[in-house]
Amino acid sequence: MIAEIVHAFRVIFGLIFLFFVPGYAIMLALFPRKDELSPIERLGFAGALSIIADILTVLFIDLVLHIPTTPLNIFLSLLTLTVLALLVWRIELHFIRKSEEVQRSDENK
């Protein structure tokens, strides 16, 4: 009974991670400002970018790095891609805020 519930949660969270999370992180890196896309567009881009990122990541680790494509290796590579995309997004936000502060300080002079 408990094993079935754990398996169901694993499948649900695995599908969410596979079809949404990496694409959403990449989409945040590509469009860091909230007003650039509507929420529906963000969901659409996240789904499409996730599928593309999944395919390209698996091809990269298999053909270029010659790492066996086990579920754990695929998960770890997608997790790495997601973390890198989130890091790029945070750096972009930092530079956007800095440039806005500079523009405000120039306007006040």
Residue-wise pLDDT for 65-74, tens only, equals 999 999 999 9
C-alpha span between 72 and 95 (Å, rounded):
35
Residue-wise pLDDT for 53-106, tens only, equals 999 999 999 999 999 999 999 999 999 999 999 999 999 999 999 998 888 887
> pTM higher than 0.75 for the full model?
yes
- Decide: 3 and 62 in contact? Cβ < 8 Å: no
- Decide: 34 and 26 in contact? Cβ < 8 Å: no
**18, pLDDT greater than 80:** yes
Determine what percent of the chain is predicted with pLDDT higher than 90. Answer: 82
**34, pLDDT greater than 90:** no
